Amino acid sequence: MAENDDGQERSEEPTQKKIQEAREKGQIPRSRELGGVAVMIFGAAGLLMSGGLLFDAAQSVFELNYELERDVLMSPDVMVDSLIVSAKTAFTALIPFYIAVVLAAVMIPPLVGGLNFSTKALAPKLSKLNPLTGLKKMFSTQSLMEILKAVSKFGLVSTVAILILDHNRNRFMELGFLPPHEAMAEGISIVAWALFILSCTLLVVAAIDVPFQLYQHNKQLKMTKQEVKDEYKDTEGKPEVKSKLRSKQREIAQSRMMSAVPDADVVITNPTHYAVALKYDPDKMLAPILVAKGADHIAMQIKKVALANDVMILNSPPLARSIYYHTELEREIPQGLFLAVAQVLAYVFQLQQFQKGKGPNPGTVPDFPVPEDLRKDE
């Protein structure tokens, strides 16, 4: 396990704040092997796609310069014009190659670590001039990995190059017997395919390097338990963070409260300013429990959920205000409201029986008794 300067073990995964700070400093995982291999593969593909253009361009340049007469060879103007035309022809033929290489150089490296631009990474660091730091890097895991990659690349490229040369030995020998234009086309094809195969071979090194770079980056950012605690204290102490936490807690509590409304037995309203939802199960509860309450827009939401789930809604402003102010969520109603709530539940039962055709109409909602000490005027 890695340790910091105080000898504490860096065993904790980096926090999001630590990762973000590292990105701001330009510390992101990058695989040079992946970028290099991508440029080679895309470049080889570009050469293969522009093989015909390269052949035509080479033939055109050859003919242009071959047709120059002897008396103009000493003319600077003619030679400069010939050079410019040759360069333009070659550049135009290589455009697909350039585009492929640029696309690879721009698009592939960000696949590991993402896009990131940091001015801090450009600032000079005096610590880099420290010889002790340099010695540590020489004997680090990163340096060992770089040596292994270099040896692996040399071995792979050498082996594959020998196999390619051996496989194309007869084709190379035949080039001397072909007409110049055919030999040129065949030579371009052999070189492009050889480059493509060699590039694909180096994908093996890149496939090992990418997870290693991700592992190394994560290892460098790991934190001690004390660092995690300090960061948590620092973050939690910020007013904006506390505000966000409280807001999130309110959202969670409100969501949980709304999910309890469909199971309520009745919702009592003000009718617009307050709404309280009660539930009573005589087999499990000693008294009715307040499962949801809210004022203004939250009260409207409670009523909306109740309507959507066929929960009975009664309008009793004094009782709704009393329950709202004197009862906590998921707590039993005060003993002084037992009689009023019992009458509410009885009225709800009678109304439900009437709607099923099993009882008389209980009439309009009565005035439920609320003790003076539990009343809350608007």
pLDDT tops 70 at residue 230 = yes
* Tokens matching residue 91: 């550049």
Residue with tokens 């002897």: 70
Nearest-angstrom CA–CA distance, 301 and 292? 11
How far is the C-alpha of 269 from the C-alpha of 320, rounded, in Å? 5
For residue 7, pLDDT over 60 is answered with no
Sign for the pseudo-dihedral over CA of 349, 353, 355, 360: negative
Domain ranges of the chain: 16-50+94-224, 258-374
2: Cβ contacts below 8 Å, ≥ 6 apart? 9, 10, 219, 220, 222
Segment (H or E) for 293: strand 289-295
Dihedral through CA 51, CA 55, CA 61, CA 65, nearest 10? 150
Contact at 8 Å (CB) between 335 and 327? no
What CATH number does domain 258-374 carry, 3.30.70.1350, 3.30.450.90, 3.40.1690.10, 3.40.50.720? 3.40.1690.10
**Angle of CA points 115, 121, 122, to nearest 5°:** 115
User: For residues 230 and 34, which has the higher predicted lDDT (pLDDT)?
Assistant: 34
**CB-CB contact of 368 with 319 (8 Å):** yes
What percentage of the chain carries pLDDT values higher than 90?
17
pLDDT at 3 over 90: no
Residue holding tokens 């040896």? Answer: 151
pLDDT tens, residue by residue, 134-162? 556 666 676 787 788 788 888 888 888 88
What is the SS3 assignment for 116? coil
Check pLDDT > 70 for residue 258: yes
Whether pTM > 0.75 for this model: the answer is: no
